Amino acid sequence: MAFLPPRPPSGLKPVLTALTVALILAGCASSRGLAPEGRLLDADSLQTQRSLSGAAASDAAFPTQDWWTSLGDAQLDALIAEALAGTPSLDAADARVRQAVAQAGLVDAARKPTLTGTAQYSGVQLPETIAPEPLGGSYLGVGVLGLGFNYTFDLWGGERARWQAAVGQARAAEVDAQAARLTLSSNIARAYVMLAQAFSARDVAVADHERADKLLQLGRQRVAAGLDNQLQIRQAESALASAEQQIQASEHEVEITQNALAALLGKGPDRGRDIARPTLLKAASPKVPSMLSSELLGHRPDVVAARWRVESARHGIKASKAAFYPTLNLTAIVGLAADNVGDLFSSDALLMAGGPALSLPIFDGGRLRNQLARSDAEYDLAVAQYNQTLVGAVREVTDAVQSARSFDAQIVSATRARDAAQQAWDIASKRYRAGLGTQLDVLAAQRPLLDLDKQLTVLRAQRVAASIDLDRALGGGLVLAAPDLNNDSNDSNDLAKAPTP
């Protein structure tokens, strides 16, 4: 015996018939031939083994969220805490988060049923020149009280896709806010290192000024004794003026760096004058995760934010594809209406209207195709930006590690050179005290010593800055939730992979 499926209720036949016809006609507005071209870069394809050879690899190589405390300066800790409590840059980032969350809420609200209440009274009097009696010349008034219901069925998941796209943008904004905090803390730490370097440079400049002054005094004594001529005095005067200029330059560097720190704190320049001279900051040995490229995906805020934007763009394609399919809308109005307000609540005043409405695109001048093409291009752009961000993140880590290693080696060489210069100066001083050398020999031996002190000041500051850059490049201790861009298991109606209409 053949099995016959049950017949649909007679009231649904018109709707089903219209839906069938709509699916057939939907081919008139087609998305065929349109598809995104972007391909996500495999993080593990970015090889770093040779470039990072020699750097300590560890499963726990990521910094902690208070990474700056490892630099060993309590004043720096206090400055960063003060900045993270609130600055204009962070306020702006937080406002962008609220803006994106509100936008996602608006998109979510648009896909839900709406119920509105109305209370209306309207009247009209037609002149007898238009309509004869009894209509013409008489005033007619109507009072209406009602409830209006409207709901668009999300048959193809397009409304849900729009909401998911907005959520992706909101997630990206939240991660951007975390990135703003990391950027702020690392900028403060870097400026603090520059302040320490400026103070040390001023010390060297003062010592060089004292040396130049002694050289000038000695030159004048030797000229007075007939041992030298005016050449040596002029050379000493030039060296003294140059040392004065170096002191002025280093003092200016201290001032503008204090101003920069005050601005980073969101305060006026006078706040910078309260910042005491930094202590010598410590720089840890560079360490990186054993699986650097793939591990960065959950720690770097810029990479995670870029992933969320790819996710948002992916749902944008689904929403654009859904627009090619028919839409089913249900509206209903229930209320009371009467030409006399006193009769509104009588049994004869009941007003009811409503029913389903089916609409579909047939010919739209190419609007839907261009909308989908734009969504595809936005996805390709998001993928390209993600790929570039990932490449840049790996490069920044590698640069920081290589810089740290290079500065370590340069510091060792410069320290060895300074030790030799110190020994030469000690020998010249001993010979002078023993009457075997001159004070000119002592001052001449002091010059390379001061030059190497200045060089070491710069190298040590650069080494600490490289440590800060590495902590920032590794994500500053952040652990962020990122979407799985290769998993669509949560999408019950995946139009991105479904056959195109």
pLDDT digits (tens, 9 = 90+) for 176-207: 999 999 999 999 999 999 999 999 889 888 98
Q: What is the pLDDT of residue 490?
A: 42
Q: What is the pLDDT of residue 253?
A: 92
Architecture of domain 38-123+138-473: Up-down Bundle (1.20)
Share of the chain above pLDDT 90, in %: 31
pLDDT digits (tens, 9 = 90+) for 244-272: 898 999 999 999 999 999 999 999 999 99
Tokens in use for 290? 């054993």
pLDDT digits (tens, 9 = 90+) for 49-66: 666 666 655 555 688 888
pLDDT digits (tens, 9 = 90+) for 219-248: 777 777 677 667 777 877 888 888 889 899
Q: What is the pLDDT of residue 465?
A: 92
Does residue 415 carry a pLDDT above 50?
Answer: yes
Does residue 136 carry a pLDDT above 90?
Answer: no
- CA 156/CA 160 separation, integer angstroms: 9
What's the rounded mean pLDDT across residues 488-501? Answer: 41
Pick the residue with more confidence: 148 or 349? 148
Tokens in use for 406? 């290079």
pLDDT digits (tens, 9 = 90+) for 80-122: 999 999 888 889 989 999 999 999 998 888 888 989 998 888 8
- CA 32/CA 498 separation, integer angstroms: 12
Residue 497 confidence class, pLDDT cut points 50, 70, 90: very low
Q: What is the pLDDT of residue 187?
A: 94
- Dihedral sign, CA of 126, 130, 136, 140? negative
Does residue 368 carry a pLDDT above 90?
Answer: no
SS3 string, 268-288, reads: CHHHHHCCCCCCCCCCCCCEE
